[in-house]
Structure 1
Amino acid sequence: MAKSWHILAFLPLVCGAGVDQAVRVTEVRTVVRRSRRLHWAWPVAFAAFVALVGAAGFRSAPSVLIDPLHEEFGWSRGTISAAVSINLLLYGFISPFAAALMERLGMRRVVAGALVLVSAGSGLTVFMTASWQLLLCWGVLVGTGTGAMALTFVATVTSRWFVRHRGLVSGILTAAGAAGQLIFLPLIAMLATDYGWRPASLTVAGAALVVVPIVLLLVRDRPSDVGTTAYGADPGAPVETVAAPATGTAARALTVLRDAARTPVFWLLAGGFAICGASTNGLIGTHFVPAAHDHGMSHTTAAGLLALVGLFDIAGTIASGWLTDRVDPRWLLGAYYTLRGASLLILPHLFAPTTEPPMWAFIIFYGLDWVATVPPTVALCRQRFGLSGPIVFGWVFASHQVGAAIAAFGAGLTRDQLGSYDLAWYVAGGLCALAALMSMRIRPIEQGTPKH
Structure 2
Amino acid sequence: MSRADLNGSSEKPTKQGVYYGWYIVAALFFASFLAIGSRQGFGVFVKTWEEDWGVSTAAISLAAAIGWLANGFSQPLVGYLTDRYGGRPVLIVSLAVMASATIGVAAVSNVFGLIVLYGFVISFASGGISPATTGVVIARWFDRKRGTAMSILIAGGSVGGLIVVPFLSYVLVEYGWRTAWVIVGALALGLGIPLLLLVVRSKPGDMGLHIDGEEPVESENGDVKVAVKPVGPKFVEQWKDALGSKPIWQLSFAYFVCGITTASISVHFVRWAISEDITTGTAALAFGVLSAINAGGVLVVGMLSDRWQRKNLLGAVYLVRGLAFISLIVVPGPQAIWAFAVIGGMSWLATVPLTASLTADVYGVRNLGTLFGLANMSHQLGGAGAVMLFGWAFTRWGSYDVPFAIGALTLLAAGIVSLSIREKRDSVRYSPVPADDVVPTGAAVGAGSGSQGGS
Say whether the fold is shared (TM-score over 0.5).
yes
**Number of the residue aligned with 1:317:** 298
| Structure 2 length-normalised TM | 0.83
* Counterpart in the other structure of 1:407: 386
Residues 292 and 351 in structure 1, CA contact (< 8 A), matched pair in contact too: no
User: TM-score, normalised to structure 1's length?
Assistant: 0.84
Partners of 1:172 and 1:448 lie apart in 2 by 26
Are 1:160 and 1:230, in contact at CA under 8 Å, matched by a contact in 2?
A: yes
Give the aligned partner of residue 279 of structure 2. 298
Q: Does 1:58 align with 2:38?
A: yes
Displacement after TM superposition at 1:359 (Å): 4.1
1:439 aligns with 2:418: yes
Give the number of the structure with larger relative contact order, counting CA–CA contacts within 8 Å between residues 6 or more apart.
2
Q: Note if 1:263 corresponds to 2:241.
A: no
Q: Which residue of 2 aligns with 1:426?
A: 405
Q: 1:135 to 1:239 in 2, by over 3 A?
A: farther
Partner deviation per Cα, 1:250-302 (whole Å, 9 max, x = no partner):
xxxxx62x33222222111111111111112x121111111011111110110
Report the CA distance between 1:61 and its aligned residue.
2.6
* Aligned residue identity for 2:398: G
What are the equivalent positions in structure 2 for 1:21-420 lying under 5 Å apart? 35-36=16-17, 38-210=18-190, 211-233=192-214, 235=216, 236-237=225-226, 256=239, 258-280=240-262, 282-352=263-333, 355-356=334-335, 359-387=337-365, 388-420=367-399
Whether contact under 8 Å (1:164, 1:232) holds in the other structure is no
- Post-superposition offset of 1:195: 2.0
Percent identity (aligned): 30
Aligned to 1:23: none
Q: Secondary structure at the residue paired with 1:126?
A: helix
Does the 8 Å contact 1:381/1:390 carry over to 2? no
Q: Summarize the Cα distance change of 1:239–1:125 in structure 2 as closer, same or farther, 3 Å threshold.
A: farther
Cα distance in 1 for partners of 2:25, 2:258 equals 25
Return structure 1 stretches of 4+ with deviation > 4 angstroms: 447-452
> Retained in 2: the 8 A contact 1:59–1:87?
no
Q: CA distance change for structure 1 residues 61 and 359 in 2, over 3 Å: closer, same or farther?
A: closer
Distance 1:205 1:265 in 2: 38
Deviation at 1:234, TM superposition (A): 5.8
> Could you tell me how far 1:135 is from its partner in structure 2?
0.5
Alpha-carbon distance in 1 for matches of 2:47, 2:278 = 13
Paired with 1:184 and 1:351, the residues of 2 have a C-alpha distance of 27
**Match of 2:226, as an amino acid?**
A
Give the greater-gyration-radius structure (CA). Answer: 1
Specify the code of the residue in structure 2 equivalent to 1:237: V
Residue-by-residue CA offset, 1:101-150 (whole Å, 9 max, x unaligned): 12333322211111111122212222223322111111111101211111
Give CA deviations for 1:137-181 in whole Å, capped at 9, x if unaligned.
Answer: 111111012111111233212221112311111111111111111
**In structure 2, how many angstroms separate the alpha carbons of the residues matched to 1:324 and 1:40?**
22
Which consecutive residues of structure 2, in runs of 5 or more, have no partner in the other structure? 1-12, 217-224, 230-237, 433-450
**Amino acid corresponding to residue 406 of structure 1 in structure 2:** G
Q: Check the 8 A contact 2:95/2:193 in 1, yes or no.
A: yes
Q: 1:415 to 1:171 in 2, by over 3 A?
A: same
Secondary structure of 1:370's partner? coil
Question: How many residues align structurally?
Answer: 403
Alpha-carbon distance change, 239 to 444 in structure 1, aligned in 2, over 3 angstroms: closer
The code of the aligned residue for 1:150 comes to S
Q: Which amino acid aligns with 1:416?
A: T
Partner AA of 2:129 in structure 1: M
128 and 259 in structure 1: CA distance in 2 versus 1, 3 angstrom threshold: same
Residue 329 of structure 2 aligns to which amino acid in structure 1? P
Residue 90 of structure 1: how far off its partner (Å): 2.5
Cα 1:239/1:435, change in 2 over 3 Å: same
Paired residue type of 2:96:
V
8 A contact 2:172–2:180 mirrored in 1: yes
1:151 aligned partner, one-letter code: P
Corresponding residue SS for 1:237 = strand
Q: 1:104 to 1:383 in 2, by over 3 A?
A: closer
Whole-angstrom distance in 1 between the partners of 2:78 and 2:424: 28
For residue 364 of structure 2, what is the amino acid of its counterpart? G
Which AA in structure 2 matches 1:130? N
**Residues 79, 372 of structure 2: 8 Å contact kept:** no
